Amino acid sequence: CKKSFLDRPSTTLISSENFYKTQADLRLATANLYGGSPWWQWQQPWLLLGDALPGTAFYTYNGDIMQLYSRTITSQNGVVLSGWTGLYNVIGQCNMVINAINQSTSASLTPVIKNQAIAEARFIRAMAYYHLAVYWGAVPIVTDNTKLVSNALLYRNTVSDVYKFITIDLTFAAQNLPLKDQAGRVTTWSAQGLLGKVYLTMSGWGHSGSRDQALLDSAAKYAGNVCKNSGLALFPSYYDLFKVQNNNAPEDLFSLQWAPGVGYGYGNVLETYYSPSNKINFGNSGGWETLQPTWDLYMMYSAKDTVRRKATIMLSGDHYPELDQADGGFTAGGNCMKKHIVGNNADNNSPTATLWSSPEDFAMLRLADVYLVYAEAILGNNASTTNADALTYFNAVRARAGVDPAPMLTADTIRRERRVELAFEGQYWIDLVRWSYYQPDAAVAFLNAQDSNHNRQPFSYDHKTGIATRDTTAAPAATPATINSYTMQIPASELSTDPKLAQPPVPYY
Amino acid sequence: QTVGISGKVTDADNAEPMTGVSIKVKGTTTGAVSDINGNYKIMAKPGDVLVFSFLSYQRQEIIVKKTNVIDVKLNSTSSDLNEVVVVGYGKSIKRKDVTGSISSIKGNDLRQTQPTTFDQALQGKVAGVVVQQISGQPGGGVSIQIRGVSSISGSNSPMYVIDGVIIPPTSDPGNGGNPLNSINPNDVESVDVLKDASATAIYGSQATNGVIVITTKRGKAGAPTISYDGFAEQQLRPKELPTMDLQQYATVINARSQVWGFSTDAAELANPQYLGKGTDWQKALFQNAPEQSHTLTISGGDVKNQYLISSTYFNQQGIVSGSEFTRYSVRVNLDNKMTDWLKLTTSLQLIHSGQNQNATANAGISNALSETPNIPVQYPDGSYGGNTNTEGWVSSVANPVAVSLITTNNQTRNQVFANQSIDITFTKDLSFRTELSGNFDFNANNSFSPSYTFGTVVNGTNGGGQGESQDISWTLRNFLTYNHSFNKFKINALAGHEASSDWNESVSANRTNYPSNNVTSVSAGDPVSATNSGNVGLGGATESYYSRLNLSWDDRYLITGTVRNDGSSNFPANNRWALSYSGAFAWKISNEAFLKNVKQISELKLRLSYGLTNNQNVPGNSYVGLLSTQVNGLGTAEFQTQLPNPKIKWEQTDYYDAGIDGSFFNGRINFSFDVYDRLTNGLLLREPLPIYSGTTTGYSPGAMAAPYANVGSMRNEGFDFQISTTNISNRNFIWRSDFTLSRNVNKVLSLGNGGSDASLTASDGGSGQVAEKTVVGQSIGEFYGYVFDGVFATPKDFQTHALPANQAGVPYPISPNSGGIWYGDRMFKDLNGDGIIDSKDETFLGSPLPKFQYGIGNTFTYKGFDLNIFFSGDYGNKVFNEVSVSHTDPSQTTAWFTSVLNYSRLALVNPNGSASDVNNVYVTNPHTNIVSLRNDNTNENNRPSTIYIQDGSFLKCKNIKLTYHLPEGILSKIHVHSAQIYANVTNVFTITKYVGMDPEIGSWNPLQAGWDQGYYPQPRGFTIGANITLNK
């Protein structure tokens, strides 16, 4: 036979040897990093870990979610496993793209084109490592998955080195991403905003009482640059920001990109799982694990804060004309989460959406978040601040929500503002972890106080009187928090596979 | 006008005269016996039929013509050493001349157990071959391992060669089906199992796990023979797993509601004593089911042309409703000697089969175990029952009976096996064969899931799909054979070239939102919902050069050498070719002068072999990255689907074998014993890397497929032993026994770069914890977990037993509250003695691989009756009773096994004291292993442990068959040559300690073997059948 008789390339899949040749190839490769299956396993942990752990979301009929809520997380917890898996799936896809582009020798790819695509992948990889560092602390850093074929077992890397790795990725991204791109794709402002947030997070690590001023300054520098020079502004309506029609509003610095009509394992499932009724869902299915707000969250809303309250949580009796429009709107029968509940196919004119594929592109980094990061970085180690920049951007967030401006900022006011602004966006646990780095006792006491005040409990709401009632007789719902409560366990199966993960972390640099 | 007939009876093999051969005139009482010189005399008239019979020799019938002298040569049957063995590439030799390790089984023996597929019948019949049923569903899969697990790449199955058509080692079809189920067991003449490297090397790169050569029946010169084989079987519903009836269910639910503080069906279940038995879901799902088979065969021919044509209809209904298998097949085998130097051989088989896989596809059995007894199968109005409880946390199981009946999942297969060869004889010694064989496989599947509402279980959207695929593979072989004898020296040499290639094409389409559940073609679905996929193109290819040399001297010393060079498209260009070679030596001791005159020893032979074989068993293109198109909010995107390994190369096995074959007392005892050692290096495997690699070997959305890699090395050592004896033999009664015993010890020697920490693991779906682990120094895929040590039952238990700890090493508190460890939680042994229970307390809990597998067959012949009883068994293996995990955990909504009734019952020492005081509580039934009704699982009670890893040893009576041969006297009057009727029972009984449905659990994946996930059991069946042959 001819020598070529034994050459049998795949007939259904593109071989990477024939790809990464043109800019169009790179756009297809990086598009994959923004949503769909790579992010599929992280979407639910993003919400559940971010909001059930800190006592924002309540649901007890599912063992895994109950463990988050009651701090009895075992090493078998499915949400934790899914989170760990999902983030490393994202990292694997990013690494493959980065390395393939670096190795591509195609003449049609200029350094600018290559670097922009690599910058997108490195931004997204940094986003994944950021969540890993916040939730699990020391984790193994993987940059070339093919090396694992011959050397699979890694040690964890130290927390400070994981953060350093993230800042290097983001710095590259900030330098090589464009000022503007197709809606949904990241820009240099996305990278600078996240870089500010990462520096702010890092500033407390390894410190006691106060934070590292140099890192706080870096945080202020990058976040401030986004606030002042990006030309971006908050979307005018907080309420409408979370509607499908406003997917990828300029305020969204990074949001996951979900297509309707794709199958299980590829689409956004948040509405399907957590909504209160399948009538307001795509495919009229689901509502299996209705997430409720806790008393603790409810109490954060001031009397004037009605727009954000109604956009974030439904109280019993609330009417939502945009949901289930065919039946004249939806009236909540109990308290539950509203964000991510966007209605059914007809409400969104999205005939192909299914229970496994809501078209809502939810944000993991918003401009409002960066505004509040900027204010927090300026506040830094001060007990309070009236700095003009800090107040300007902090109050821009409040103004959009229709609440009164704050005259002065403290750590507590910023934390409260972030909680209200970003509730059910997977952010509050990140805020508490950041706090726990440099004031562990206070952060632990905060969790325990929630419980001793019965604030982690759900509540009933009487629509006629407007009176909310919680049950204060029940025993504490959660086991007492310790500083260990701020670190997730590595899944049991992963530890069995790689016993080195149980060893102390090692430096990466 | 009776005349005197005389003649001489000789052994066809060695031309020696045979003494004591019985000669009868058919249909009369006239008889005679041959004398010491083989001579006989008998009176008969022209037209009479003389029947020559002798123990262990084929009976021969000769019609008396005008001549008075009839000399007869009898062929031996029972001496295994005289049977013909297929060694590949056109060559068949007598067993006594074999140098390699080859076991054979005749078609008739194969059919004793009434198998649906021929591979099922190998169990216990061939030493060294471990056969385990993967699914008892009609046409279901069977895993076959020859001498252990040598490869961990998922497929350890051997290569199959059916009349020269190569069927590559099969892999998991994913639906419990069997890729070999289109082969009709009735067509099989013999099956030869090639085991050692000397025997397999000629087949090259796909033969490292052994070769199973199937030879089908062929026509013989003579008048047309018409025969019919048929049977009907009734398969019985299997043993049921013990599940609660309605009263028991209500009792448990009520007790649990009291503890948990919320209820499910409080009103309905309030008074258990007034309730009936409720629904027995297993009873509702399982049924007795019929099976039938009819085969008509016509064969015959003249000296130049012979033919055999057979047609079969086979149908098996499933014992689970919604499963069925049907096969129609036609075989045409032709042999044409066109001229003295040219011979044409044609083997052709056409098959149409259909399989209803509904029961497997819909997890019916597992749903039957999860569904509660308070739900009726059907309401009086005919609608199907379902859970009506609206509390969200009650997990709703779709009515398994309804699902199996209203959904569709059919697979249709049309298959053609064809082999056309031309033999050209140049000289007496030199010949050439060119052979083209093809396997044409046309598959269609069609599925539909209707919308339905069973109580709160709603499938709002119906959906269906259709798929068509074609798979064509062909092989072209050309080889020269040279044969010569110089006095005592004989030579047989062969050299050739071979190329094979695959081509496939497939398309599938799916839609949802059909306007009606009755119109189920894809066209009827909503066009907006349409999804489709397809593929056309070349698959893999191999090319090989090979040669083999057989030498023998004085019929005492035999040598075989084989060299083969294989190229495979599965490897990158620089690793594409691999050389295999083997050598074997055999010494026929019984032909030495010092044994030649020992009458008791008919045959005695020693065999030694060594070989190096290569395995290419990875899919194509595993060495490059592959991208698949997906869609997300940005539009089209390219997803990296696999982690490539550009260094992938052939897996190599060093194979040593030593064997001895013997035949004593004129063939009354035949045995064969082999010891072997296989050392495999560069094991090919889809490597289960840590999750942080972003890869998976299972299902994990967004993860890349794990890479194929050459990982480590492994050894299989063992022996196989086979003996058949004729215990009693006289004119009316014969008792023969067959016994096989196989022993294999598997040991992993290295797992590559991971060093001593490296492991390959499989995790239990329920707990997410590792239940099977492969590490260096142990055998592949050993069970792994905790040692159960009772439940926390007394205050003392909390002092003497360690508590589980979180990752920081801090034990969880002793408390009845959420997050605490409390009475009724399971205690595990603190194996490392560090005072806490964590992953360091896991240990190896046994292997799913049997220490021994054996088969025992006995045949009793009395006058016209044959009684065949066959047992097979496994000894020393463990089974993971995974199905029991969720069904015995009271905190789950599927825990309806009756063992849950014995949940840990908590009581107070002082009834007025505190229920949360550790010193005031105890468990009243401390010997239970079922946890209490607490709604908390901080203790991770379900972690894999000795509770679920159970002894899987068994002895199974596979069949008892009684056959009656109708008397010749009657038959000859109605022109019937032979007729027999029989009754058979399969899977008669099983002796085992295992508490699940069936301890015999096969698996495609050696890293996850022996997991009982509630699979389709093998039914017991009662058969009656007949076998009639007409002669002109």
* String of DSSP letters for B111-127: GGG--SSGGGGGTTTST
pLDDT at B356: 82
Q: Which residue of A has its CA nearest to B506?
A: A12
How many degrees, rounded to 5, is the angle at CA B789 between CA B787 and CA B790? 140
Which amino acid is it at A27?
R
> Do B713 and B680 meet the contact criterion of CB atoms below 8 Å apart?
yes
Q: Which residue has the higher pLDDT, A227 or B166?
A: A227
Please state the domain count of chain B.
1
Q: Which residue has the higher pLDDT, A401 or A1?
A: A401
pLDDT at B139: 67
pLDDT digits 0-9 by tens, B354-392? 888 776 644 677 788 888 888 889 988 888 988 877 654
pLDDT digits 0-9 by tens, B14-54? 667 787 788 888 878 788 888 878 889 888 888 888 888 87
- Do the bridges between strand B531-553 and strand B557-568 make them parallel or antiparallel, or are there none, so unpaired? antiparallel
pLDDT digits 0-9 by tens, B601-651? 888 999 999 999 888 878 888 899 999 999 999 999 999 999 999 999 998
Do residue B633 and residue A259 have CB atoms under 8 angstroms apart?
A: yes
Instruction: Chain A: give the shortest CA distance to residue B630, in Å.
Output: 8
Q: Which segment of A91-100, A101-110, A219-228, B318-327 scores lowest on mean pLDDT?
A: B318-327
Domain annotation covers residue B682: no
pLDDT band at A442 (very low <50, low <70, confident <90, very high): very high
Whether pLDDT at B276 is above 90: no
Please report, for the domain that includes residue B16, its CATH number.
2.60.40.1120
Instruction: Chain B: give the shortest CA distance to residue A377, in Å.
Output: 32
Whether pLDDT at A491 is above 80: yes
> To probe the interface with B, which of A3, A4, A25, A32 has the most B CB atoms within 10 Å?
A32
| Residue A366 backbone phi and psi in degrees, to 5 | -115, 160
Q: Which residue of B has its CA nearest to A504?
A: B808
Q: Which segment of B11-15, B287-291, B639-643, B681-685 scores lowest on mean pLDDT?
A: B11-15
B621: alpha, beta or left, given left = phi > 0 and alpha = psi -120 to 50?
Answer: left
Instruction: Chain B: give the shortest CA distance to residue A60, in Å.
Output: 9
Domain annotation covers residue B728: no
| Chain B residues with CB-CB distance to A6 below 8 A | 541-543, 567-569, 576
pLDDT at A275: 93
Q: Which range scores top for mean pLDDT: A155-169, B755-769, B893-907?
A: A155-169
R_g over Cα of chain B: 32
Q: Does the domain spanning A42-245+491-502 belong to CATH 1.25.40.390?
A: yes
**B637 at A interface, C-beta within 8 A:** yes
Query: Of the candidates A112, A100, A50, A122, which has an alpha carbon nearest to the alpha carbon of residue A80?
Result: A50
- Do the bridges between strand B49-53 and strand B22-25 make them parallel or antiparallel, or are there none, so unpaired? antiparallel
| Chain B residues with CB-CB distance to A184 below 8 A | 633-634
Domain map (residue ranges) of chain A: 42-245+491-502
- Do the bridges between strand B430-449 and strand B463-486 make them parallel or antiparallel, or are there none, so unpaired? antiparallel
Whether pLDDT at B754 is above 70: no
On the CB side of B118, how many CA atoms lie within 13 Å of its CA? 25
pLDDT band at A188 (very low <50, low <70, confident <90, very high): very high
Whether pLDDT at B721 is above 90: yes
pLDDT at B1010: 87
Instruction: Chain A: give the shortest CA distance to residue B760, in Å.
Output: 7
Do residue A493 and residue B536 have CB atoms under 8 angstroms apart?
A: no
> Do A266 and A36 meet the contact criterion of CB atoms below 8 Å apart?
yes
Q: Which range scores top for mean pLDDT: A46-60, A109-123, B595-609?
A: A109-123
d(CA B770, CA B779): 16
| Average pLDDT estimate for B491-503 | 92
Dihedral, CA atoms, B370, B373, B378, B379, nearest 10 degrees?
A: -140
Do residue B543 and residue A1 have CB atoms under 8 angstroms apart?
A: yes
Instruction: Chain B: give the shortest CA distance to residue A205, in Å.
Output: 19
pTM of the entire predicted model = 0.80
pLDDT at A461: 94
Q: Three-class SS string for A461-491? A: EECCCCEEEECCCCCCCCCCCCHHHHCCCCC
Percent of residues, chain A, with pLDDT higher than 70: 99
Give the list of residues 6+ apart from residue B866 with CB closer than 8 angstroms, or none.
Answer: B859, B860, B961, B962, B963, B964, B965
pLDDT band at A166 (very low <50, low <70, confident <90, very high): very high
Q: Which residue of A has its CA nearest to B815?
A: A479
Domain annotation covers residue B338: no
Domain annotation covers residue B158: no
Q: Which residue has the higher pLDDT, B265 or B888?
A: B888
Of A7, A28, A499, the CB nearest to B637: A28
| Average pLDDT estimate for B449-472 | 87
Q: Which residue has the higher pLDDT, B756 or B832?
A: B832
Structure tokens at A113: 């084109």
| Chain B residues with CB-CB distance to A471 below 8 A | none
| Average pLDDT estimate for B971-993 | 87
Give the list of residues 6+ apart from residue A263 with CB closer than 8 angstroms, or none.
Answer: A354, A356, A357, B531
Q: What is the distance of C-alpha B681 from the center of its chain?
A: 26
pLDDT digits 0-9 by tens, B247-268? 998 888 888 888 877 665 556 7
Percent of residues, chain B, with pLDDT higher than 90: 36
pLDDT band at B118 (very low <50, low <70, confident <90, very high): confident
| Average pLDDT estimate for A137-165 | 94
pLDDT digits 0-9 by tens, A455-489? 888 899 999 999 999 878 766 667 789 999 999 98
pLDDT band at B126 (very low <50, low <70, confident <90, very high): confident
Of B392, B769, B940, the CB nearest to A493: B769
Domain annotation covers residue B13: yes
Domain annotation covers residue B69: yes
pLDDT digits 0-9 by tens, B219-237? 887 788 899 999 999 988 8
> Do B388 and B455 meet the contact criterion of CB atoms below 8 Å apart?
yes
Which DSSP symbol is given to B740? E
Structure tokens at A38: 């790579």
pLDDT band at B13 (very low <50, low <70, confident <90, very high): low
Mean of pLDDT over chain B: 86
| Chain B residues with CB-CB distance to A148 below 8 A | 643, 689-690, 693
pLDDT band at B332 (very low <50, low <70, confident <90, very high): very high
CA-CA distances (angstroms) from residue B660 to B87, B557, B757? 18, 14, 41
| Domain extent for B46 | 3-74
pLDDT at A298: 95
pLDDT digits 0-9 by tens, A261-310? 898 999 999 999 999 988 899 988 888 889 999 999 999 999 999 999 99
Place of tokens 């992963």: A494
Whether pLDDT at B171 is above 70: no
Report B:781-810 residues touching A (Cβ under 8 A). 784, 806-808, 810
| Chain A residues with CB-CB distance to B819 below 8 A | 70-72, 478-479
pLDDT at B82: 60
> To probe the interface with B, which of A6, A147, A495 has the most B CB atoms within 10 Å?
A6
Q: Which residues pair with B354 in a beta bridge?
A: B326, B412
| Chain A residues with CB-CB distance to B694 below 8 A | 88-93, 95, 142, 145
| Average pLDDT estimate for B703-707 | 93
Q: Where are the beta strands (DSSP E) in B450-462?
A: 452-454, 457-459
b/e B15-43 (16+ beta carbons within 10 angstroms → b):
eeebeebbbbbbbeeeebebeeebebebe
CA-CA distances (angstroms) from residue B568 to B122, B183, B205, B334? 30, 27, 8, 33
d(CA B344, CA B333): 11
pLDDT band at A323 (very low <50, low <70, confident <90, very high): very high
Could you report the predicted ipTM of this complex, rounded to two decimals?
A: 0.95
Percent of residues, chain B, with pLDDT higher than 70: 93
Q: Which segment of B270-274, B831-835, B841-845 scores lowest on mean pLDDT?
A: B270-274
pLDDT band at B395 (very low <50, low <70, confident <90, very high): low
pLDDT at B444: 92
Three-state secondary structure call for residue A238 = helix
Whether pLDDT at A251 is above 90: yes
